[in-house]
Amino acid sequence: MTAQPPSSWTVTSWILRRPTALSEAEQLQFKTVLAHCPQLNALTRHVRTFAVILAEHQGERLPERLDAFRRDDLPNRHTLAAGIDRARAAVIAGLTLLWNSGVIEKHVNRIKMLKRQRFGRADFPLLRKRVLLYSQDIAF
């Protein structure tokens, strides 16, 4: 009887975790999976390199990594690289700068959520009141 292959969720978790965080058994299983799929091996290298770029704010390395991404045989990932290229300056800034607009985006999304909840049932004065009352419950 042959061993059952790991699920896609399991393999994804192995890719997204640091190699040092995997147990010896997981490392062995992961190496076996990578040996059977060269594309997955290439994808793992890219994901881990992008993780370092993101964690260490090394946005200047993005163009060289995108070129390496395109050289590998991962055609459906070329679309991702092309999308990043369209907003290259913004992506590099987001990966390099220490500050971001995450807090503002959180509040914008909260207001949009409140608006969607009331869609078609109330007009602007009620939405305004609800946003203001909801804002008092949250520390800015």
User: pLDDT by residue (tens digit) across 78-98?
Assistant: 788 888 889 999 889 888 888
Reply yes or no on whether the pLDDT at 136 is more than 70.
no
CB atoms within 10 A of CB 63: 13
Among the listed residues 20, 7, 75, 13, the one whose alpha carbon sits nearest the alpha carbon of residue 42: 75
Quote the pTM value.
0.65
Among the listed residues 74, 82, 76, the one whose alpha carbon sits nearest the alpha carbon of residue 38: 74
